[in-house]
Amino acid sequence: MALRAIIFDYGKVLSALPDAESHTNLVAATGLDDAVFEDHYWAHRHAYDAGELNSHTYWEKIAADAGFPLNDELRRTLIEQDSRMWGNLNQPMVDWAQKLIASGMRVGVLSNMGDATRDHLLREHAWLRTFHHLTWSCELLIAKPDPAIYQHTLDKLGVTADEAIFIDDIQRNIDAAKTLGIDGILFTGVDQLRTDLAARNLQGVIPFPDRQED
């Protein structure tokens, strides 16, 4: 079956590494040690991404578990800095997505993401609205690697599993896509992605991302 769609994860694929200044501000606002903060930050992240928690209840849960006081002002600061932290772009990948759209390829996002971060990205990055479909886990109340979220994305893009490639930076998410018959590429960098696309004999079929500059 011919390739018709490319589906992107957002975090660390379309985005660059988390913004260091926002991360520093976030940790400082809680008063926690960095390692302690990271433990609490990720402990409930999947529940936040899956819509079991919203941005308010997510930080309320972290504050209760970590033992720091939370008021409305601090909660607003935490939500703002957390959202900003994921705003740095992997520009070569964003540019490639636009080239794919111009070439006629169906292009979508499939991302585990909480409500406040999603809202921030949609406000700040108008290019996201050029994609044919955006799947945000918080809206569906399911998250990767649940097979249902992949099938939802395929349905919204109007393609079958064997007509799509999914690009993500986490192996278990790639493995889940493959169980549905979606070709998956584990993303570690643009040059690696070019190599993986070439191995699929896609030269001349789709535009390739530009080589990563040194």
Q: What is the pLDDT of residues 145-157, one digit of tens each?
A: 999 999 999 999 9
Digit-coded pLDDT (tens) for 30-72: 999 999 999 999 999 999 999 999 999 999 999 999 999 999 9
**Prediction pTM value:** 0.96
Contact by Cβ (8 Å): 11, 86: yes
DSSP 157-189: HT--GGGEEEEES-HHHHHHHHHTT-EEEE-S-
Does the structure show a pLDDT above 90 at 87? Answer: yes
Q: Could you tell me if 44 and 117 are in contact, meaning their C-beta atoms sit under 8 angstroms apart?
A: no
- Is the pLDDT assigned to residue 1 strictly greater than 80? no
Q: Are 26 and 116 in contact (CB under 8 A)?
A: no
Q: What percent of the chain has pLDDT over 70?
A: 99
Give residue 213's pLDDT.
66
Q: Which residue has the tokens 């070709």?
A: 183
What is the pLDDT averaged over residues 185-202? 98
pLDDT single digits (tens) 161-174: 999 999 999 999 99
**Chain-centre distance for alpha carbon 35:** 23
CATH superfamily of 5-16+88-199: HAD superfamily/HAD-like (3.40.50.1000)
For the chain, domain boundaries: 5-16+88-199, 20-85
Residue 214 has pLDDT above 70, yes or no: no
